[in-house]
Amino acid sequence: MAISFKIVPPAAVALFCLLMPGIANAAGTMEIHHRSGDVNTYRDVDIRVFSGSLFLTSEDGDGTIVVTRAACSYQGKIIVCLPVAAVLVQDGTSNALSLKSGTIYLNYTTAAQPLSASSAKLPANSVMLALSTRNGTVINLRGRIDQVIKQ
Strand partners, 139: 32, 131
pLDDT-derived band at 45, boundaries 50, 70, 90: very high
Higher-scoring residue by pLDDT: 117, 12: 117
pLDDT higher than 60, residue 9 = no
pLDDT-derived band at 151, boundaries 50, 70, 90: low
Q: Where are the domains of the chain?
A: 2-149
- pTM for the structure as a whole: 0.82
pLDDT tens column, 98-121: 999 999 999 999 999 999 888 999
CB contact set of 143 (below 8 Å; sequence gap of 6+) = 26, 27, 28, 29, 30, 45, 47, 126, 127
pLDDT tens column, 17-44: 444 444 446 689 999 999 999 999 999 9
